[in-house]
Chain A
Amino acid sequence: MFRGRTFLLFLVATVAAADPAPQSSIDGAIRYGLGEPLTTDQIAALNISVLPNGEGLPEGKGSAREGATVYATHCAACHGDEGEGRGDFVALVGGQGTLSSTQPVLTVGSYWPTATTAFDYIRRAMPYTTPGVLTADEVYAVTAWILEKNQIIAPGTVLDRRTLPKVRMPNKDGFLPDPRPDVAR
């Protein structure tokens, strides 16, 4: 009825269920064993994190050419036809070279240190009123459109899980760790 490993798991589960004492972990503290196991499929369905090294990026690809259509359909109404921003909606393009000036313009292009952040944020939160409608290809494409408009990637660059983490953002080295307390009395 039970074969090999499955049986072993069954046995462990039965013994654990029959044992009223909580298990001890390495540091001696109690482990209660109340959580339900999370399967690989369940994790895949939930996990939308993208790390700077590209871990978590999905299959798929896109370039600014397809991105222009995605952008015009899903983004331009708020962020402006060229990504210049509109009213309360922030600009996504421009501002490079302004950070040390008296009028810094902070955008994805001028300020963000990592390209994966753009993919991650657009996939989780944009379009603002209908997040989650874009396919992976469309997120790659619109990310490429924004990066190309900012002249960060060469025209025609195809972004995918391999190329996106390699994009070098202009302000990559623009961040310092928290030095506080920094204010003299």
Chain B
Amino acid sequence: MAIAAIPAAVSAEEMRTLGAARREYGERSQFERSARLFPPASSTPMTGASRSPLQDQFGIITPSALHFERHHSGVPTIDPATHELAIHGLVERPQRFTMSLLKRLPSVSRIHFIECGGNAGREHRGNSGATVQQSHGLVSCSEWTGVRLSTLLREVGLKPAARWVLAEGADASRHARSIPLAKALEDVLVAYGQNGEALRPEQGYPLRLLVPGWEGNVSVKWLHRLHVIDQPMMTRDEAASYTDLMPDGKARAFSFEMESNSVITSPSGGQQVEGRGWLEISGLAWSGRGRIEQVDVSTDGGRTWRQAELQAPVLSKAFTRFRLPWRWDGQEAVLVSRSRDETGYVQPTREAIVAARGMKEGPDGFNHYNGMKPWKITREGMVTHV
């Protein structure tokens, strides 16, 4: 047997050279390129969003560095040593909590998605996103750690008239939203941790509200004030923005829950299937109303469906990874997924949503869209939007 038969990779340079030094804070490999996507700068400084590269995500946790972001007046730099949370209004004992006091209270860690109310809104309009990052990148999922809002409200003591909690951020827009008390007491967190470390600045460092399953705008970041009130405050983002305009000119307000959704992330728009044969269809499903119960996948544009496997554990109001092995025969195919959540609700088609809600955009485009997203595979293996 000749020495020359040893494959090139085995004699590679790195095996004969000392590796790199240690690093105090790890970074991904220099070969990894996955990145958030944002549109070219507009004339508005600092406002905007960046979309998460869902096509690159494995499993259900979005890396903190790739979590989507949305803010109205930039990302503030807040020193946790001086940051405080004030709670006042219809409470017995108005109080303020430093970060270190908050961390002494009983904590919980929970895995939840956050989805912008406007995620995939352009799909409603008919501008079908070419990649899943473009179409659905305003949703991400993390493990969040913090104090239950109910714990804090018990500390301050609610007065009988209390019905809503206004949450306000310490950013330049003083972003503010009102949350009904029932939800505040049910499962809302005041979070300081994200995926095992402190929140990222884009995600609200050092403190944010985490309102599971509801449009992302209510999960107020850079949280510094909670005001207990007897009615919603009618901030801009609840009185006008995030409302859904109907064909008759009336608009729906306070549409909080993000309904059952799913999208195939692989293969997805912009990718190339390298040759016929077996491949894994994989994607993400989520519902603001609870657990995902079933995901079906079609490879013929919705004529026939097969049930995908759900990765355990399936968590409430969290990303659920689904997978289905599939043999591509080299013919044109249209891949699409549909989810059903524990309430029995089934993700609709775009046509059904348009039939029910029409085509009128609200002040910030279409919100609360959860239509099925088909991807076409051409004979050449190119994956495109439909």
Contact = CB atoms under 8 A, between A and B. Distances in A.
Contacts of A99: 245, 249-251
A89 to B, nearest CB: 7
Q: Contact size class for B?
A: 35 or more
B72 to A, nearest CB: 7
B169 to A, nearest CB: 10
Contacts of A121: 235-236
A13 interface: no
Interface string B221-253: 000110101010111100110010110111111
A183 interface: yes
A123 B306 CA distance: 54
B86 A50 contact: no
B252 A131 contact: no
Interface string A124-155: 11001101000000000000000000000000
A69 to B, nearest CB: 24
Interface stretch (B42-50, B60-68, B378-386): B42-50
Interface stretch (B107-115, B261-269, B271-279, B344-352): B344-352
B87 interface: yes
Interface in B148-176: 154-157, 166, 168, 172-174, 176
A117 B234 contact: yes
Interface in A16-39: 25, 27, 29, 31-38
B301 to A, nearest CB: 17
A76 interface: no
A129 to B, nearest CB: 7
Given A46-B225, A106-B363, A128-B73, A35 B243 contact: no
A43 B256 contact: no
B104 interface: yes
B363 A131 contact: no
Nearest to A179: B252
Given A38-B88, A46-B86, A112-B240, A88 B42 contact: yes
Interface in A31-75: 31-38, 42-43, 46-53
A176 B346 CA distance: 24
Nearest to B351: A183
Contacts, number: 172
A16 to B, nearest CB: 12
B288 to A, nearest CB: 10
Nearest to B370: A183
A33 B104 CA distance: 11
B255 A178 contact: yes
B250 A175 contact: yes
25 contacts: A35-B87, A47-B225, A47-B227, A49-B227, A51-B234, A88-B43, A88-B44, A89-B43, A99-B249, A104-B361, A111-B251, A113-B240, A114-B234, A117-B234, A120-B234, A121-B236, A131-B174, A174-B249, A174-B250, A176-B250, A177-B254, A178-B254, A178-B257, A180-B368, A182-B356
Given A35-B93, A37-B95, A124-B173, 15 more contacts: A33-B155, A38-B88, A46-B225, A49-B168, A49-B176, A50-B233, A89-B43, A89-B44, A114-B239, A124-B174, A176-B253, A180-B368, A181-B259, A183-B355, A184-B352
What 9 pairs between A and B have smallest CB-CB spacing?
A35-B95, A100-B249, A99-B249, A124-B174, A38-B94, A178-B255, A121-B236, A175-B253, A183-B348
Interface of A: 25, 27, 29, 31-38, 42-43, 46-53, 87-89, 99-101, 104, 106, 108, 111-114, 116-117, 120-121, 124-125, 128-129, 131, 174-185
